[in-house]
Structure 1
Amino acid sequence: MCFSATASFTAGTVLLAMGSVAARRASQAQRHRDLPFALIPVLFGIQQLLEGALWLTFPDKAPCLNVALTQSYSVFSQVLRPIYVPVAVLLMETVPWRRKLLVGVALAGTAAGLFLLYYLLRLRVVAQVSGQHIVYIFPHFHVLAASGLYLLSTCASPLLSSQRAVWLFGVVATVSFIAAYTVYTTWFISVWCFFAAILSGIVLLHFPRHRAARESTEL
């Protein structure tokens, strides 16, 4: 993440373990529609491992690898996240009116993700170390509409869920977004991705070792 390769590698390893546990519990409970949500820590874990490897390419140790890792990290943070998160939440939802809202949010997230992907393919993102953090320098394509749809899909979609753990995930994602933007504006992307990654461990709350009645977990 924004501090060191060690921090990113450690976070990535822990998240992969958490996601594996959540996925196994979802499979054991035969709750296959919940599996994409269970795998969220795995996706964040891979993203953190990419950033850990990126740290090792500074300063100018492996320029080509630096470019490849920067682009890969950007695809995870800018494209996959706004598309994947609302779809994962939608698949779990059973309340009709919430599902309708989530369909709209998922479409919005997909639009934002594809818009950002288009520019990622056209223009190269540059990663630099600044003040003991990694800063990602994007071409100026973060228009207000795309940014709004990105925030809606990544933070608001879990808040629409009837599942308490999913809703809590949305709350902490939103709070971490605000905190990272307020305190670490320059390094916002790296810092928020790290915070959100660590907090994705909340996913495990939705898959306890001994599953209680489903009704007790709904809002």
Structure 2
Amino acid sequence: MCFSATASFGSGTLLLAIGTVTLRMARRPAERPYAAIPLLFAVQQLVEGVVWLSFSGPAWLNFTATQAYSLFSHVLWPVYIPLAAWLLEPGGPRRRGLFSFLAVGLAVGAYLLYNLVVNPILARPVGGHVDYQSPHFYIAASMTLYLLATTVSLLVSSHVWVKVFGALALGASFLSYLFYARWFISVWCFFAALLSVAVALHFVAPRSILHQRIPS
């Protein structure tokens, strides 16, 4: 979490347990990337716990942990989320639409990766949160494309709980920016991590009407 090392390690440990169970629920290889989302969020939260500890440690640890966290927040998610949803989707127009979002995610992920290499992100504790200083250009455009890839793409899915996760993540992004604009990266990633519990609901309620697919 974005408020302390203890909170980060605590949420990471909880998500580690949830993610392990969720991954075991996947019945087909195509379901495993989506089922692994809570597990990946767990790793990200644990890494942020190290970021917190690094503030009183050596500079190299802070730099390494910050870049590792940023690879998750900036590069992995805009590519991984639409890819996981695309693999989960049967053939049809929705799958083709998700492929378009995957292309968007690849583009913005590559752009942000380039910026991470050229201008590494710096992290420091400010106001009880981790302030990630991300000095890249075209912030509005890249953020719009990022949200399209990580949240709006899920709304295209024919699976109801996938759409629920996307809607919750999108709503959390607006609230995080509204109340925590300066610490947006850290705060939104925390809320998105917790909301990834909705990923498990896709697998634990197979007989529920809410799990039924929406016609393409």
Using structure 2 for the length normalisation, give the TM-score: 0.95
- Which amino acid letter does the alignment assign opposite residue 9 of structure 1? F
Q: Secondary structure at the match of 1:78?
A: helix
Match of 2:46 among 46, 49, 52: 49
1:40 corresponds, among 37, 59, 72, to 37
Matched, 1:195 2:191: yes
Aligned residue in 2 for 1:146 = 142
Query: Which residue number in structure 2 is paired with residue 87 of structure 1?
Result: 83
How far does residue 141 in structure 1 lie from its aligned partner after superposition? 2.6
Quick check: 1:79–1:117 contact (8 Å CA) kept in 2? Answer: yes
Displacement of 1:217 after TM fit?
2.0
Q: Which residue of 1 aligns with 2:163?
A: 167
- Gap regions ≥5 residues in structure 1: none
1:211 to 202, 206, 211: 206
1:8 aligns with 2:8: yes
Q: CA deviation at 1:145?
A: 2.5
**1:89–1:113: structure 2 CA closer, same or farther, 3 Å change rule?**
same
Which residue is 1:136 aligned to?
A: 132
Compared CA separation, residues 65 and 216, structure 1 to 2 (3 A): closer
Q: How does 1:61-72 map to 2 (within 5 A)?
A: 61-72=57-68
Shift of the 126–37 alpha-carbon distance from structure 1 to 2, 3 Å rule, reads same
Describe the shift of the 1:142–1:10 C-alpha distance in structure 2 as closer, same or farther (beyond 3 A). Answer: farther
Q: Residue type matched to 2:101 in 1?
A: V
Asked if 1 retains the 8 angstrom alpha-carbon contact of 2:122 and 2:132, the reply is yes
Alignment partners' CA distance in 2, 1:143 and 1:132 = 24
Number of positions where the alignment pairs a residue of Structure 1 with one of Structure 2: 214
RMSD: 1.6
The alpha-carbon distance between structure 1 residues 143 and 184, as it changes in their structure 2 partners (threshold 3 A), is closer
1-side partners of 2:185 and 2:11: how far apart? 16
Matches of 1:190 and 1:84, distance apart in 2: 19
Task: Check whether the contact 1:95–1:162 (CA below 8 A) recurs between aligned residues.
Answer: no
Structure 1 runs, 4 residues or longer, greater than 4 Å off: 213-216
- In the aligned structure 1, how far is the partner of 2:89 from the partner of 2:143? 25
**Partner AA of 2:33 in structure 1:** P
Q: 1:215 Cα deviation (Å)?
A: 9.1
Structure 2 CA distance for partners of 1:213 and 1:31, relative to 1, 3 Å? farther
The unaligned stretches of length 5 or more in structure 2 are none
Determine the C-alpha separation between the residues in 2 that align with 1:133 and 1:92. 35
Report the CA distance between 1:192 and its aligned residue.
Answer: 0.2
Cα distance, 1:138 vs structure 2: 1.1
**Which residue of structure 2 aligns with residue 100 of structure 1?**
96
Distance 1:66 1:189 in 2: 17
1:206 and 1:198, CA in 2 relative to 1: closer, same or farther beyond 3 A? same
TM-score scaled by length of structure 1: 0.93
| Shift in CA distance, 39/178, structure 1 to aligned 2, threshold 3 Å | same
